[in-house]
A = this chain, B = another copy of it.
Amino acid sequence: MNSDVAAPLLSRLQEIEDLGGAISLLTWDQSVKMPPGGAEARGRQLATLGRLRHERWLDPGLERDLAAAEREAADGAAADLLRVVRHDLERATRVPNDYVARSAAHAAASYEAWLDARRGGAVERVVGMLERTLDLSLEYAGFFPEVAHPADALIDVADEGATVASLRPLFGRLRDELVPRVAAWSAAPPAPPLPAGPFAVDEQLAAALELAQAFGYDVGRGRQDLTAHPFAIRFAHGDVRITTRAKVDDLTEVLFSTLHEAGHAMYEQGVDLRLEGTPLAEGASAGVHESQARLWENQVARSRAFWSFALPRLQHRFPALAAVDVEGAFRAVNRVQRSLIRTDADEVTYNLHVIVRFDLELELLEGRLAVRDLADAWAERYAADLGVAPTGAVDGWLQDVHWFAGTIGGSFQGYTLGNVLSAQFFAAAARELGDVEAQMAAGDFAPLRTWLTENVYRHGRSKPVDRLVRDATGGALDVEPYLAYLDRKFEGLAGAR
């Protein structure tokens, strides 16, 4: 791509990115720092900046500059950029402005209704909202008449290239494999949890951040704050923040929240600086992003090797942990239990929560399930897959915000794709790095982080997910490494009990 040709396009993309960075800061502040009185104006500011950004995508000049660059394009890096920009432009132009406005207004209203229902308000109102959400989701899918399944249009937003045709058999296989494993591994009484403290929150935050920094999270280009719902967010290559939460009586809350979000953040911090200012300076997909969070949270921070490194450091800060040994800590953070709440679930059970939601989304979109029957369908699936029954809507179908702040379809697949991919990436890294367990036990996370930077982080969104996975692991998306990882860890734990 001739740089004279590319310059006007790059300048347009930079402007879109700058607006995106400002929008991200407005969002971060909304969750982290904003006083209650700021809510109304903040919603308006976000809407205005979102509209300005969307207008920039729709500017005929962008299409013209993109087409000019496409005519010139030759080499690999430029081709990646043009492919992604064309893809994003296509999506931006397919979705009409009035749909964006209607959908955003409905999302805000249904979020309010959801909050109200969770506080004991009318469930009937949420049902009505969700019916409208389903209509809007199908309307969105209709803007992409070429897709084989309406969910494909929605899945593509977060996990470009993934389809119902590819995910349904993968998730079906995983469900069939996991249901008996959860039953077996949760049969015996669980290992004792870590001591209940109390642990001073400031000290917890410092301890968790110290471990995140040991992994490689760069606080010179980030920071950590407390929020109700932890997240990672990027404003620019030099500013990728995490939030976390803490419980005074449960150290695992802050540890796994922080280390999970640090995984997301290290991915964004590791994107090649040359991709800055373009849509390539993001993660490859929701699934790949989640895989990087899960890899550090589970493959690393729930390993025996990690705890032999981390436990003495934590004991130094928290004398209440004095009597814990590495094996006890390892067992405490790897308890498998049937559960009702997705976000509290262990790493084995977690996927069953996701697959229930994925399947129900498809049934709703296919017209095989009515919104008013969702509560029953949910209870049925939880009984069949997890062996538990919700006590009500709040620990049942109203537990997640996703359907009440966006669309039905496309919200959940990334979580399980992330778990599956985390095992593939970790196994590939371990094959190349030699004794990764010994490295982790010694607190030397640099080899793993360097491997991830080389094979995942630095590419940002340059490679399509299937190419990224193949280049990094030597194979396609595959559940076997994940099942092998689970069996290796949890068979051992179950056998030893």
Contacts and interface: CB of A to CB of B under 8 A. Distances in A.
Interface of A: 14-15, 18-19, 21-22, 25-26, 29, 33-42, 44-45, 48-49, 52, 218-223, 235-239, 241, 276
A223 B52 CA distance: 29
B49 A238 contact: no
Contacts of A221: 35-38
A52 to B, nearest CB: 7
Contact of A239 (B21, B37, B223): B37
A39 B238 contact: yes
A267 to B, nearest CB: 16
B235 A38 contact: yes
A15 B218 contact: no
A26 B33 contact: no
Contact of A18 (B15, B25, B48, B223): B48
Nearest 9 CB-CB pairs, A to B?
A41-B236, A38-B239, A37-B221, A37-B238, A18-B48, A18-B45, A21-B45, A38-B238, A22-B22
Given A15-B48, A48-B15, A236-B42, A220 B26 contact: no
A18 B239 contact: no
Main secondary structure of the interface of A (DSSP, over half): helix
Contacts of A218: 37
A18 B237 contact: no
A241 B38 CA distance: 10
A47 to B, nearest CB: 8
Nearest to A221: B37
Given A37-B238, A40-B236, A42-B235, 13 more contacts: A18-B45, A19-B48, A22-B25, A33-B33, A33-B223, A35-B223, A35-B238, A36-B220, A37-B218, A37-B239, A38-B238, A41-B235, A41-B238
Contact of A49 (B22, B236, B276): B22
Contacts of A18: 41, 44-45, 48-49
Contacts of A14: 44, 48
A33 B224 CA distance: 10
B35 A222 contact: yes
A45 B29 contact: no
